[in-house]
Amino acid sequence: MRGANPGDFGQTNTCGSSVAAGGNCAINVTFTPAATGTRSATLTVTDSASNSPQTSGVSGTGTALPSLSPSPVPDFGGQNVGTTSAAQAVTRSNLSGAALTITSVGFTGTNPGDFGQTNNCPSTLATGATCTINVTFTPTATGTRSAILTVTDNASNSPQTSGVSGTGTMLPSLSPSPVPSFGNQNVGITSAAQAVTLSNPTTTALSITSIAFTGANPGDFGQTNNCGSSVAAGGNCTINVTFTPTATGSRSATLTVTDNASNSPQTAGVSGTGVGPTASLSPTSLSFGKQNVNTTSAPKTVTLSNTGNAPLTINSITLTGTNANNFALTSASTCPLSGGTVPTPGNCTIVVTFTPTGKGGKTAAVSVADNASGSPQQVSLSGTGH
């Protein structure tokens, strides 16, 4: 071949080194354009004839097929398992002479589920047009992960493909996260510990700066651990978390580990419910009025109620104050005077009498020592001896 683009054309033939008198042979010419646009050359046969060489012009037009670029997509590198990378853009080009009908855009290959895509490609891509496919990487396991971005259409070179790859990595983490709820816990009482594991699956030691609690109620939670100042590569340690509610109701915080990992701090939510009794006395004062000296009044009753969400523990019920010996707690009381419990919800009664030992005003108080907030609860007592 000679001429402008001889490398774009090829031939095979049956001619051998000679052609018999009156005979012929066949030359099969092919066209493989090296570029777009008009391509031409001259088929040239040089022989012993007087009109040698014999020539025949050959020509064709190079056209471009649809393609993906870049191909392969640059490696996503290391990405933490279960997290999604930034997107990489792949351009879909239709440089052919006809509109392109796109059937599907997806992934095939070894780990297709580890890669995702969004695109602005229409179902029909006009000739000369482009569209963009944004590819992301969300590894489901550690190690090398790969797939093939595959676009299926009506082009002769369908499907067009581009390799995608990345490496799934693991960073330090706390497990379980969140920590299972401690549930109901009496105010001021420490729960059993729950174990939280700090894992370091990386290839370098983890240097720990602090292990503490943050959030709404950090003072309600405590921890002990065997982590020390570092965790070896591939190692783990244990953080034992306890719950000591300082008030009733929902209590929460965040276990926070600060270290030199790229995902520092690692966190795990902790929660529980503070429960406790609520003690109230009704009425809060008793007046016995006038009572003859050394005679006992009719009894008067006080009701102790527990409206909280935990049993009320009574440590003692006593008489206190200046003239405590002028008053008495009777056996008719249903409250445990020397200690016991009142269920939730529940109540009991305290029965009091007045026996003045002398004339004049007398005062004292019934004092209930228990495990409720505001202990001891008191009822003021008064009466006049005459």
Q: Around Cβ 12, how many Cβ atoms within 10 Å? A: 9
Average pLDDT over residues 39-57: 91
Q: Long-range contacts made by residues 260-265, C-beta under 8 angstroms, separation at least 24? A: 260/206, 260/207, 260/209, 261/171, 261/172, 261/200, 261/202, 261/206, 262/171, 263/80, 263/171, 263/172, 263/173, 264/172, 264/209
What is the model's pTM? 0.58
173-275 and 279-385: same fold? Answer: yes
CATH hierarchy code of domain 173-275: 2.60.40.10
Per domain, the residue ranges of the chain are: 6-62, 67-169, 173-275, 279-385
Instruction: Provide the pLDDT confidence category of residue 1 given band limits of 50, 70 and 90.
Output: confident
Binning pLDDT at 50, 70 and 90, where does residue 2 land? Answer: confident
pLDDT higher than threshold 90 for residue 98 = no
Distance CA 322, CA 303 (A): 23
Secondary structure, 3-state, 59-76:
EEEECCCCEEECCCCCCC
pLDDT at 97: 77
Tens digits of residue pLDDT in 171-212: 999 999 999 999 999 998 999 999 999 999 988 999 999 999
- Write the pLDDT tens digit of every residue in 210-245: 999 999 999 999 999 999 999 999 999 999 999 999
Q: Are strands 327-329 and 340-342 parallel, antiparallel or unpaired?
A: unpaired
Question: Residue 149's pLDDT is what?
Answer: 98
- Whole-number mean pLDDT of the chain? 94
**CATH entry, 67-169, from 2.60.40.1120, 1.10.606.20, 3.40.640.10, 2.60.40.10:** 2.60.40.10
Q: What confidence score (pLDDT) does residue 61 get? A: 77
Question: Which residue carries 């002990």 as its tokens?
Answer: 224
pLDDT in tens, 9-18: 999 999 988 9
**pLDDT at site 361:** 97
Q: What percent of the chain has pLDDT over 90?
A: 81
**Using omega within 30 degrees of 0 as the cis cutoff, is the peptide bond preceding 53 cis?**
yes
Residue 262, pLDDT score:
86
Q: pLDDT tens digits for 138-169?
A: 999 989 999 999 999 999 899 999 999 999 98
Determine whether 228 is exposed, middle or buried from the number of CB atoms within 10 Å of its CB (0-12, 13-18, 19+).
exposed
**Mean pLDDT across 284-292:** 97
For residue 8, the model assigns a pLDDT of 86
Give the distance, in angstroms, between the CA of residue 107 and the centroid of all CA atoms in the same chain. 26
pLDDT of res. 223: 98
pLDDT bin (cut points 50, 70, 90) of residue 309 is confident
Q: Looking at per-residue confidence, does 61 or 211 come out higher?
A: 211
* Residue found by looking up tokens 């008191």 in the block: 378
For position 35, what pLDDT does the model report?
72
Question: What local confidence, expressed as pLDDT, does residue 208 receive?
Answer: 98
Q: What is the pLDDT of residues 295-308, one digit of tens each?
A: 999 999 999 999 98
Q: What is the mean pLDDT of residues 103-116?
A: 98
Mean pLDDT of 364-381: 95
CATH superfamily label, 279-385: Immunoglobulins (2.60.40.10)
State the pLDDT at residue 109: 97
